[in-house]
Amino acid sequence: MEALPVIAIVGRPNVGKSTLFNRLVMQKYAITSDIAGTTRDRIYKRCEIAGYEVTLVDTGGLEYGKHENIEKDVQSQAALAIEEADLILFIVDLSEGVNPNDQLAANALRKSKKEVLFIANKSDAKNAKSNSYETLELGFGEALKISAIHTDGLADLELLIEKTLRKLKFKKRRKKEEKNSDTLSLCILGRPNAGKSSLVNAITGTEAIIVSDIPGTTRDHTDTLVTHDEKKYNLIDTAGLRRRGKIEQGIEKFSSLRCLNALQRSDIAVLLIDGTERIAKQDAHIVEYILEMKKGLIIAVNKIDDFDKSADEEKKNMIIYRLKRRFAFVPWAPVVFISAKNKTNVMKIFDLADEIKKEREKKINTPELNSFMQMITNKHLPSSANTRKPKFLYISQVETSPPSFVLFFKSVENLHFSYPRYIENELRREYGFVGTSINLKFKSKV
């Protein structure tokens, strides 16, 4: 599966970046999933524009409000967009005209080899016409005039995006893209120094594996086709990813773009954790990405060779306890203890991946599903704070990989927020789905 094109919206504060971002993902395009930069500040979204599934980035997430830092914010946005994005939407404000910060961003973007679409927002402002002449100074020719708040010009912008992505050789995507089911794609994720490079070296250095290198399709990814027990695996290595230094607050958010693209192309994520360190918030954020993309998950605890032999089991039990607390929202994820350095248990990752693949492809027939749902909803009736109680009607599994279900209820809008979790827990208790996210969609029916 090819990586999604990354489109970044760049411009100084208050030119309308966030408004344009919201229009592009909310107006008439189907949002496929939210990708969280953090739970507070969501600056990435996967969405569909002109038939292309893309990752759209609002660089407004880098603005921190202090006037004296605006120049640095603009420079950071431009630099990060140049590094990470395939297409840049450079936006200026026609109500104010061009200012030095616009020129800062323009200088950096013009020197880059990236595709840039030049956009002049707030075209409905009284002084827009006179200010539009100033935009020619920035060296991008005539800007496409839009009003993001009133949606004027967005259809023309969509056509320009489509034309540019076609020029960049990106392909439009079908709703459910066909893929080679014989090859399982594994993405190795984790914080710096967790041992990602060592794990890849341990796998590719094992005699039982035939290795052939495949050029990565996106920046800093290394795809390696490996064969183990006569089965093929595509190993997507993100070992080249490094957390950026805290040069500017928030800049490290953008380092995850490449990680997200690698994850998007995979079936199963292998989250590598350093067993000698405490589990960090960053590990939990990575798991959030995996959940939102509905991937399979293996948690691999590395560096068990550093454990005190006399307290080996005690240490493992403590780590499992901490994992259960930190990752309470993914109790279904299997845990394997490995040593990439000594190659201990590294091949168990493939065995677990094979089991998870079977779980992701599991299909349950509709009569059996409905019989089971009737039983669990009668055992624990849907609760509601409203007087109109929700009532279960029927369920159907609509997809596999990941297992996806549509559930129909009367008055579904009154369903208590905890009830979907109850249903998921019961489905897992009955049918397993070990190691994989599942997708539950609730619909109302009269």
For 67-112, what is each residue's pLDDT tens digit? Answer: 455 556 556 656 766 777 899 999 999 998 888 888 888 888 888 8
User: CA-based diameter of the chain, in Å?
Assistant: 78
Question: What residues pair up with 45 in beta bridges, in sequence order?
Answer: 34, 56
pLDDT at 367: 96
Question: What is the signed CA dihedral for 175, 177, 178, 184, rounded to 10 degrees?
Answer: -140
Residues 187 and 240 reside in one and the same domain: yes
The domain tally of the chain equals: 3
Q: Does 221 or 53 have the greater pLDDT score?
A: 53
Question: Do 163 and 245 fall within a single domain?
Answer: no
Asked whether residue 175 is domain-assigned, the answer is no
Q: 211 with 318, same domain?
A: yes
3 state SS of 6: strand
- pLDDT score for 181: 55
> What's the sign of the alpha-carbon dihedral 187, 192, 194, 196?
positive
198 with 341, same domain: the answer is: yes
> Sheet of 391-399: strands edge to edge?
391-399, 404-410, 439-444
Domain containing residue 11: CATH number: 3.40.50.300
What is the rounded average pLDDT of the residues 277-305?
Answer: 89
| DSSP character at residue 412 | G
pLDDT, residue 426, reads 97
If asked whether residues 65 and 195 sit together in one domain, one would say no
Q: Collapsing DSSP states into helix, strand and coil, what is residue 2?
A: coil
Residues 411 and 297 placed together within one structural domain of the fold? no
Which position has the token pair 């669990």? 376
pLDDT tens-digit readout, 305-334: 877 666 678 888 899 999 999 999 999 999
Distance CA 299, CA 435 (A): 9
Tokens of 166: 């076609």
- pLDDT at residue 13 is higher than 90: no
| Residue 201 and residue 150 share a domain | no
Based on its alpha-carbon atoms, the radius of gyration of the chain, rounded to whole angstroms, reads: 24
Query: How confident is the model over 254-269, as a mean pLDDT?
Result: 75
Report DSSP state, residue 169. T
134 lies in the same domain as 216 = no
365-369: average pLDDT: 96
- The average confidence (pLDDT) of the chain is 80
30 pLDDT band, cuts 50/70/90, is very low
Pairing type for strands 52-58 and 144-145 reads: unpaired
Q: Which of 360, 384, 408 is the last residue of a domain?
A: 360
CA atoms of 352 and 337, how far apart (whole Å): 12
What predicted TM-score, i.e. pTM, was given to this entire model?
Answer: 0.67
Residue 47, domain extent: 6-167
Q: What are phi and psi of 200, to 5 degrees?
A: -60, -45
